[in-house]
Structure 1
Amino acid sequence: MIRLPRGTQDILPGQSEKWQYIESTFIDICRRFNYQEIRTPIFEHTELFQRGVGDTTDIVQKEMYTFEDRGNRSLTLRPEGTASVVRAFVQNKLYGSAKQPQKLFYNGPMFRYERPQQGRMRQFVQLGVEALGSKDPAIDAEVIALAMTFYQSLGLQSLKLVINSLGDKESRENHRQALVEHFNPYRAELCSDCQTRLDQNPLRVLDCKKDRDHHAMVDAPKILDYLTEEARLYFEDLKAYLDASGIDYEVDSNLVRGLDYYNHTAFEIMSAAEGFGAITTLSGGGRYNGLVEDLDGPATPGIGFALSVERLLMALENEGVTLPVNEGLDVYVVSLGDIAKVPAYTLTQQLRKSGLSVDKDYLGRKMKAQFKDADRNEAKFVVVLGEEEVNLKQAAVKDMTTGEQEMVAFDTVVNHIQSKR
């Protein structure tokens, strides 16, 4: 038997409805915030992620699914969504649109070669937004508010928002030098990855999962101590907008995020629910002024976030939140005998055209078995057609909630059921 690849999953009926509900809720929230959908390819040229995500990141160095096509071009299954959205923004000259900033959202599978564990798959689904064209800290607050609104609209209550500033270019350069001077005496004690990061991108040492408990981490230089006045004021403005929105947050100077393109605002939303697990992050994002230029576009500020649907489902389950899905069929049509087959099929189609969810028997089962199938499908109404009903040009309509049953003329069955809903 051929099995699915490690780190992937089949989303079966009964579960897929939850995904659909989550996706439709996300689309509705984005509509309220005036974000429009963008769809990008599942694979891109490898260079996009090398330049856009960063050569020093674990994603590029260890986790990408990269292959050569028949034209010897190096292609990569997208490991995240931002680089693709920015590439589309540049290639399609969306920066020239009269509608600015460009407020975009996406939904789709991403791929990373990681050790599979609960809530972390090799193929996973991200929902995300990107706002390109504004350097106003108010839009940073808006992006955060969108994410929080989405989670809360699904029923999550135990949420924790953590924010930080990564500063501007001057702030980061000063902080980088301080980090190198601080960690150099401990270089030999750090993991091999961090020894490399110390030369290439010292900020990412703070994000290391292996060395997080090293004593040198405790008093490592904090980026907030190295902010320029402009960067400090930007962060203060962001906090003021969040305060005005009634959004609670914590400032964590060690929050750096795992991608090279972030600056100024960085944030994560975590589950604070008891028993959720060691990895509590549900989503994360931040500002990436400079990324558009790195991908050959004009100077354009941007900010966005992405969230994992898999981890969201874990959080919903952990908090005992039941999504309003799997509400059953509106109607199940029971047919008895050959004479009722065509009328039953015709009535099924008419009911569907009226907007109702409807099914019928296709296995030639007895009436009792058909009623059992109606129960399995949680049908609200059952319509019975047999020889007698066909001859009388009527149907027996049973309300499965009240148990009431009445005979209804064929040509009024649709209206009758619609009036009872």
Structure 2
Amino acid sequence: MSAFADDLQSAYRRVRGRTVALSEPLTDEDCCVQSMPDASPVKWHLAHTTWFFETFILERFEKDFRSYHPAYRVLFNSYYNGIGEKHPRPQRGMLTRPSLGDVRAYRRNVDERIALLMSGKEEHDEIARLLEMGLHHEQQHQELILTDVKHLLSLNPLLPAYSSTSLPNTSYEEPMAWRAYDAGVVEIGHAGDVFCFDNELPRHRQFLEPFSLGSRLISNGEYLAFVEDGGYAEPGLWLSEGWDWAQANRVAQPIYWRQGDDGWQEFTLHGLQPLDRHRPVTHVSCFEADAYARWSGARLPTEFEWEHAATGASDFGHGSFHPSAHIGSRDTELTQLFGECWQWTASSYAPYPGYRAEAGAIGEYNGKFMCNQYVLRGSSCATPPGHARTTYRNFFPAYARWQFSGIRLAK
């Protein structure tokens, strides 16, 4: 077995084990409930990430393949029309069967079969490529498990904590500064041999006008000033669709903020906490981020401005790296680029010049969502270590705010 194959087996065990570990603080009931159509039950995440390996690898490469359960092909298909029928997304929480125990047995079965496939004498580049993609796909779902669980627990009147540990003391707020960048043609997109998703390709040239980028993220305290100044009641600060969204949903503060007798509080994965005004504001929609930027006399950066600044702020190049290795290290003018919260940009999620999706169902992974979405850059506190890079393009609709999304300003 090659060193690469050995590394891939180790990565497979590590990533798959972390997903299961994320579910361990939860009850069986926690894992089965769906809090809204945009979220999924933890049980479904555990099954779908397993379905990915069974469908795209075992079904294609395993000798004498037999599905673990024929119905799972439909139940745990997310959006791959090329695979076939799908269980309706808003009804994932109705799947009381299979049980959580059955899903865990499904994971063990597929893991054993994948291990057997990887231990085969014949190496296959396509298997390795799909395995690596499947692991990065599973890391995306690890982040979704945390964001979806947080939304679910926030709806419980008991306000239960996901984690019994204390909220990490990472709160700090340095004075805001502006880093200026000259106009010019820059290289955007992934380069090198390490993994990336197809939406990060191809690398291409982009012209940027002169701009400045805020040195850090906007804090809770700064956003609270916007709230208390009546920012949610001033239509001139909002995009038309954002104003309609805020009015229709009676949005008046970030989704997890609450005002009580003792002042402002915020629901976290560690339970309800007093609002820490020095932490970055999180869980705001693109509509809210854009309105705040306009209120403050600034704007949101484009994804190209963000990438150009982030690439120049580190020596990590375009590969994956642990976000905490960068924060507060080599360039003190730009902090909180990674590991705190995803940062909304003003860029619509669109293909790069020359982009081509893969053939077949696997090509549905990114390209077909390049409509009515906005790009976020960086990574969040829920992003698995090693999953972040300067060229990573996250994307969500402008109204989405259950993700760990925040604000960095530009001028």
TM-score, normalised with respect to structure 2: 0.29
> Relative contact order (C-alpha < 8 Å, sep 6+): which is higher?
2
Greater share of strand residues, 1 or 2?
A: 1
